[in-house]
Amino acid sequence: MTIRSNIKANQSTRMNVLTPEQCQELVLAAEEAMWRTGTNFHDEESLEIMKKAGCWVDGERVRVPAHIFEQALKTCQKHIVLCNSRTGARELFVEGNNSYFGSGPCTPFTRNPFTEERHRATRQSVGWATKVLDALPNIDYAMSLGIVQDVPLLISDRHEFEQQILHTDKPIITVCVDQWGQADCIKMAEIVAGGEEELRKNPFICLYAEPISPGVHCREAAQKLVMGAKKDLPTIYTPCIMAGGTAPATLAGVMVQGLCESLSGLVLSQCTREGAPFIMGGVYTILDMATTIFSYGAPELSLLLAALADVAHYLEIPMFGTAGCTDSCIIDEQAGIEAAISVAMTNMSGANLNHDIGYAEQGATSNLDLVVICDEVLGMARRLTNGIRVNEETLALDVIEDVGPGGNFADEDHTEEHIEENYMPKLINRAAREIWENAGGKTLTQVANEKVRDIINHHEPEPLPKDLAAKIRDIVENAVGHMPGED
């Protein structure tokens, strides 16, 4: 018998971009920027809240003293759980080194998986997308993959939410057009959960807002954040910044700019209501200097967000990351490379809740073929992070002795008992050439597209009870839009 003593073992493959000392340096720099430069809040209520809490308010500019930020860091909830909308089962533990993945929101366009046409997203396209997300085993939650645009645009978020809640029981991250839209979506979620208290106890929705970089919190974003805190619902605050455009060109400078914005949001959230569940978000990338686009496929995106995961772990707060997306206009080799690198790297970094699976064309168009491909990539990525278990059973010395030189392990009981240790692909082709040719000689994208069509045609999500669906419909039908810039 092997006696093991004082052993350190890796439960998972690990990756760090930054040391704790470097994380501290970045956080302290962000604290300095929050104080020296500050950020602008275009919202009266937020200015009042922050002033009352002791922040220095000069017009729209808010400077956060370090002790107020440090207090906010102490009070914010470190343990956030997202639940199943039908059963209330507690499913996603958005904390520690847990990594969950899902789609992205708000693409103006989508690609129809049947006609291959690129068109503006519709009620139907969001319904289809949600069905696909619901069916895929490695996708943990749903974002809409499109702004519904075949309805009045000012209330598109209510239609989006309706399509989502009808087609999945997985947690939903809802991105609303403004505070009024968010209020309606919360109302709908409360109906499904069985009341305000029930939703708060077992939240299946997560709210979302983003500042405008550099350093501007528009009214809608600030109001959504304040509402999330008052309602005690998990709220993501995610700067979308680009090196050399809305942030310094240096990646450390990007980190400081992004942290300054999201942590100012944390301060607003905690000053509104201590203990409010807050998730630090980020889409940190580069401004591509040849095309002037916000890149969703740059290696810097994955590098920056893995670094942000290090900072989130250092601060012990949940974070929202980005992966599974591409700048490519179609799902080709480029899309596969960019999506796979970002998924694998993000998963290894231990970022908690990761979005934008299915984004093509720099985030302008959603693509369900890519979602299905990423589901497979996630299976592979998770195998990578499962690492290698080393113990008496897995060292398999007895089997090596039994089989001996020139033997065969394929028919050993030990092989059968441990077959699930290794990943079995669902889409990836490993067949011999003749077999692959006889099956049609298809590319991965073709196989993925067939799967998308099959899910849309045949998958049946857990239905929402009819009386609840009717109440949701009622809210959608009575929704009132607010023109931006007008009260």
Partner 1 sequence: MATIEDLSKYVIKGNVAKTKKLTQALIDEGAAPLEIINQGLIAGMNVVGVRFKNGEMFVPEVMVAAKAMSQGIEMVEPLIVEGEMPSAGKVLLGTVKGDLHDIGKNLVGIMLESSGYTVIDIGIDKAPEAFIEAIKEHQPQIMGMSALLTTTMLHMKDTIELMKEEGLGNVKAIVGGAPISQDFADEVGADGFAPDAASAVDLCNSLLS
346 makes contact with partner 1 (CB under 8 A): no
Cβ(379)–Cβ(423) under 8 Å? yes
What counts of helices (H) and strands (E) characterise the chain? 18, 19
> Which residue, among 428, 438, 302, 439, has the nearest Cα to 372 in the 3D structure?
428
8 Å CB contact between 121 and 163:
no
Applying CB under 8 A, which of residues 12, 16, 25, 42 lies at the interface with partner 1?
42
Find the part of the chain contacting partner 1 (CB under 8 A) among 16-24, 187-195, 412-420, 477-485.
477-485
Q: Dmax over Cα atoms in the chain, in whole Å?
A: 80
Under the binding rule (CB under 8 A), the answer on residue 250 touching partner 1 is no
Residue 108 as a binder of partner 1 (CB under 8 A): the answer is yes
Residues 110, 235, 246, 269: which binds partner 1 (CB under 8 A)?
246
Among 1, 3, 290, 388, binds partner 1 (CB under 8 A): 290
Segment near partner 1 (CB under 8 A), from 48-56, 122-130, 288-296, 309-317? 288-296
Sign of CA dihedral 475, 478, 481, 482: negative
Q: What distance in Å separates the CA atoms of residue 189 and residue 182, rounded to the nearest whole number?
A: 10
Q: Which of residues 172-231 bind partner 1 (CB under 8 A)?
A: 177-178, 212, 216, 218
Q: What is the dihedral of CA 123, 129, 130, 136, to 10 degrees?
A: 170
Give the nearest distance from C-beta 438 to partner 1 in angstroms.
Answer: 42
160 binds partner 1, rule: CB under 8 A: no
Q: How far apart are the C-alpha atoms of 210 and 323, rounded to whole Å? A: 18
- Dihedral (C-alpha) 417, 430, 373, 96: value to the nearest 10 degrees? 30
Give least dist CB 126 to partner 1, A: 13
Give the range of 16-24, 67-75, 283-291, 415-423 binding partner 1 by CB under 8 A.
283-291
**In this chain, which of 147, 229, 256, 263 binds partner 1, going by CB under 8 A?**
147
Residue 244 CB, shortest distance to partner 1, in Å, is 7
Binding residue (CB under 8 A) for partner 1 from 65, 96, 245, 248: 245
| 61-63: strand order across its sheet | 56-58, 61-63, 39-41, 216-217
Residue 326 in contact with partner 1, rule: CB under 8 A: no
Contacts with partner 1 by CB under 8 A: the residue count is 30
Q: What angle do CA 113, 116, 120 make, to 5 degrees?
A: 85
CA atoms within 13 A on the CB side of 401: 4
In the complex, which residues of this chain contact partner 1 (CB under 8 A)? 42, 108-109, 120, 147, 149, 153-154, 156, 177-178, 212, 216, 218, 242, 244-246, 287, 289-293, 363-364, 483-486
